[in-house]
Amino acid sequence: MKKIDAYDDYILKIKDLVTEIKIPGQIIKPVEIENFLIPEGKIVGLAGESGSGKTMTAYSILDLFPTTAARVREGQILFKDKDLRGLSGNSLRKIRGQEIGMVFQDFSKIFNPVIKIGKQLKEELTAHGIKNQQERIARALDEVGLARDVADRYPHGLSGGMLQRVGIVAALICNPSLVIADEPTTALDVTIQAQILDLLKDLQAEKDFSLLLITHDLGVIADICDYVYIMYTGKIVEVGDVYEIYEAPKHPYTKGLLKGAFSMQGEEKSIKRPIKGSIPSLSELPQGCRFHPRCPEVMERCREQEPPFFNQEVACWLYEN
Ligand code: SF4
């Protein structure tokens, strides 16, 4: 597969994005992304440990921060070559839902528990001026393998797996060209996880939308993604096509994540080997390479100087030449 930066058309291009959060006495930066690309019709993963800035990246794209203390400070978020940062609140709301759909981790917190599913879906269609709502909802429920009478039920009457399917309906019902799925299977048990992933993969192939899949689980990325970005403390440390990265990871952090997910032969391990130590607090980042306190290949200069992104592939001094 060609390199991610070798396409003609991208649904999303992020450039020099900095997101900041004000905390007492300090400003922290949960996202600092120089380059991030999603080619049209491709599935791109964003992976890293919990706390690496993945979800904040999604919030930054959609301006959906859960707190007013967070904001995008600088950079461009080009969706179909239009900078989302330059749009008014109304224009951005129209794009959210209609052109960019979002699948959340846990829809029990997203749907209103006292309003029937069908009514909530109709509200979304009305907000985007879409008619033939009854028929559209019925068809969308068919597509995710749910009975049509689910529309007459309340969210609390559905299992986690059913609710996640309804969440996928909500994300796709306006036929968006980009879907962002943030840990869409994390809250589910293993069997249901596989079903939801297969469903997302099938729907993406059928409808040809681009998909950004955010997950800490590299097994999930391996199952359905074309490309993967690896994120650590808000920065991208490696990017590449999934096959190449899983065959020959470059960044020591990526190697560590993969060892925690697979054996060297690619078979799932019963005993996983996590990376030593833990992700540092954004308010106390180490000098030099942010990964150096945990890196098994650390060199002297790593403690002093932060590595740039070499060859549009990896941010690590080992690849300087
Ligand atoms: Fe490890 Fe140095 Fe590479 Fe950072 S720059 S990942 S510390 S080898």
Query: Of the candidates 38, 30, 36, which has an alpha carbon nearest to the alpha carbon of residue 7?
Result: 38
The helix or strand, by DSSP H or E, that contains position 240, with its residue range, turns out to be strand 235-241
Which atom of ligand 1 has the smallest separation from the CA of 307?
5
Which atom of ligand 1 has the smallest separation from the CA of 317?
5
CA distance linking residue 260 with residue 230, whole number of Å: 14
Give me the chain's average pLDDT, please. 93
d(CA 250, ligand 1 centre) in Å:
10
Out of 289, 313, 320, 321, give the residue to mutate to test ligand 1, the one with the largest number of ligand atoms within 8 Å of its CB. Answer: 289
Task: Evaluate if residue 266 carries a pLDDT over 50.
Answer: no
Q: What is the pLDDT of residues 278-314, one digit of tens each?
A: 999 999 999 999 999 999 999 999 999 999 999 999 9
In which band, very low, low, confident or very high, does the pLDDT at 197 lie, cut at 50, 70 and 90? Answer: very high
Most confident of 72-81, 103-112, 259-268, 275-284: 72-81
Task: Evaluate if residue 9 carries a pLDDT over 80.
Answer: yes
Q: What is the pLDDT of residues 11-44, one digit of tens each?
A: 999 999 999 999 999 999 999 999 999 999 999 9
d(CA 279, ligand 1 centre) in Å:
15
**What is the average per-residue pLDDT within 75-83?**
97
> For residue 20, what is the domain's CATH number?
3.40.50.300
Token pair of 275, please?
């990376």
Task: Evaluate if residue 269 carries a pLDDT over 60.
Answer: no
Out of 232, 250, 295, 311, give the residue to mutate to test ligand 1, the one with the largest number of ligand atoms within 8 Å of its CB. Answer: 295
CA distance linking residue 56 with residue 69, whole number of Å: 13
Domain that holds residue 243: 4-99+174-263+271-319
CA distance linking residue 106 with residue 192, whole number of Å: 14
Helix, strand, coil percentages, rounded to 5, for the chain:
40, 25, 35
pTM of the model: 0.93
In a domain, 234, yes or no: yes
What 8-state DSSP symbol labels residue 168?
H
For atom 5 of ligand 1, the residue with the nearest CA is 316
d(CA 277, ligand 1 centre) in Å:
15
Helix 133-143 to helix 160-172 angle, to the nearest 10 degrees? 130
pLDDT for position 258: 93
Out of 291, 311, 313, give the residue to mutate to test ligand 1, the one with the largest number of ligand atoms within 8 Å of its CB. Answer: 291
CB of 110 closer than 8 Å to CB of 104 = yes
In a domain, 147, yes or no: no
In a domain, 107, yes or no: no
Ligand 1 site, CB within 6 A: 251-252, 289, 291-292, 295, 297-299, 302, 307, 316-318
In which band, very low, low, confident or very high, does the pLDDT at 66 lie, cut at 50, 70 and 90? Answer: confident
In a domain, 136, yes or no: no
In a domain, 122, yes or no: no
In which band, very low, low, confident or very high, does the pLDDT at 193 lie, cut at 50, 70 and 90? Answer: confident
In a domain, 118, yes or no: no
CA distance linking residue 193 with residue 140, whole number of Å: 20
CB of 284 closer than 8 Å to CB of 290 = no
What's the number of domains the chain is made of?
A: 1
In a domain, 149, yes or no: no
pLDDT for position 272: 62
In a domain, 281, yes or no: yes
pLDDT for position 69: 95
